[in-house]
A and B are shown apart, each in its own frame.
Chain A
């Protein structure tokens, strides 16, 4: 008796999530513009999230163009773990970018395996994607702690302009003598704010992918008949990658 009810409910859920075979371009009551409601609503959320990040980057850009001087990112982001004291401009952040793009590719592979209902393939690629996300978060934690140890705070920036406009760094012992930030304080504020907000997105993405992995291993999606949840979480994960491409441009390259 109970099993019958469960079966009926599962059927109802499957009907709810499945799409009709034919659909007109306008969408209407069945789906939104040819994509399932789940996917299209994720798209709309991502569009609104893109507005949020655009706002943050615009604020950062406005502060930066109004400043007389801005620290050179090549001289700020020039340290590498295990290479203490070595000068490697942009080296570490290039590794971080590569990790995030590759983890995005792994999630695409998981989605593709989901289309062929290959449960094992989905699980393996999801694990790779999660490892990539965790590695990126670890790199970011290292970079943040490195900057904080050198005296950077959300409203305190140790990098200041020399006489010829070159980027100088306040020594750790000197910080106590400078209660006000020697350089543009919003250099630190915008960096911690925007990379932090992006890091929050990465954290949420890793959690979502872990949920997808658990449900894949439990066989939830296999019973449901499709792996659309992996696809929806995947969209979110690619968006995180997309935002990082712009953060990389605005904070590190330019």
Chain B
């Protein structure tokens, strides 16, 4: 009986994560389209930052809930999570610094 209740709560958690990911995707696409249709003359930087944060939120739910990482031992979470955080930071740093370096070349 306890296993059944646990199963039900797990199923519920997954559908909850699905709904959150769906809402965030709709939010992202509507941000991109609102820039395209209404604010085309303005720079897209702020919207890009918000869309990136939304994508990171989606990535968190996929890793934590779908890949079941949040229920694993904490050592495994840190072993896998820390490199992923560093990778994300690497992309951000390389784009910012790369833009600056290339601006010196031109």
A and B bind: yes
Chain A residues close to B by CB (< 8 Å): 25-27, 32-35, 40, 43, 47, 50-51, 54, 57-58, 61-62, 65-66, 72, 74, 89-90, 94, 97-98, 101-102, 104-105, 108-109, 111-112, 115-116, 235, 238-239, 241-242, 245-246, 248-249, 252-254
Q: List the 6 shortest-distance A-B pairs measured between CB atoms, nearest first.
A: A34-B73, A33-B76, A66-B102, A65-B99, A74-B36, A249-B55
Chain A residues, Cβ within 8 Å of B76: 32-35, 40, 43
| Min distance, Cβ A120 to any Cβ of chain B, angstroms | 15
Cβ B14 vs Cβ A101 within 8 A: no
Distance in angstroms between the alpha carbons of A104 and B75 in the assembled complex: 25
Chain B residues, Cβ within 8 Å of A25: 73-75
Q: A66-B102, A105-B14, A245-B58 are contacts. A115–B7 as well, Cβ < 8 Å?
A: yes
Chain B residues, Cβ within 8 Å of A115: 7
Chain B residues close to A by CB (< 8 Å): 3, 7, 10-11, 14-15, 18, 21-22, 25, 28-29, 31-33, 36, 44, 48, 51-52, 55, 58-59, 62-63, 65-68, 72-76, 79-80, 83-84, 87, 90-91, 94-95, 98-99, 102, 105
Say what secondary structure dominates the interface of chain B. Answer: helix
Report the nearest A residue to B88, measured CB to CB: A54
Chain A residues, Cβ within 8 Å of B59: 242, 245-246
A-B contact pairs, 17 of them (CB 8 A): A26-B75, A33-B73, A34-B73, A43-B76, A50-B83, A54-B87, A62-B95, A65-B98, A97-B25, A98-B22, A108-B14, A111-B68, A112-B14, A115-B7, A241-B62, A242-B67, A245-B62
Distance in angstroms between the alpha carbons of A246 and B52 in the assembled complex: 9
Of the residues A62, A90, A245, A246, contact of B32 by C-beta under 8 Å: A90
Distance in angstroms between the alpha carbons of A102 and B22 in the assembled complex: 9
Cβ A238 vs Cβ B14 within 8 A: no
Report the nearest B residue to A23, measured CB to CB: B73
Of the residues A112, A239, A246, A254, contact of B10 by C-beta under 8 Å: A112
Distance in angstroms between the alpha carbons of A14 and B85 in the assembled complex: 36
Cβ A242 vs Cβ B98 within 8 A: no
Cβ A50 vs Cβ B22 within 8 A: no
Report the nearest A residue to B54, measured CB to CB: A249
Distance in angstroms between the alpha carbons of A112 and B7 in the assembled complex: 7
Cβ A112 vs Cβ B11 within 8 A: yes
Chain B residues, Cβ within 8 Å of A109: 11, 14
| Min distance, Cβ A90 to any Cβ of chain B, angstroms | 6
Distance in angstroms between the alpha carbons of A109 and B18 in the assembled complex: 12
| Min distance, Cβ B49 to any Cβ of chain A, angstroms | 10
Distance in angstroms between the alpha carbons of A235 and B66 in the assembled complex: 8
Chain A residues, Cβ within 8 Å of B67: 235, 238-239, 242
Cβ B87 vs Cβ A50 within 8 A: yes
Cβ B33 vs Cβ A74 within 8 A: yes
Chain B residues, Cβ within 8 Å of A235: 67
Cβ A57 vs Cβ B91 within 8 A: yes
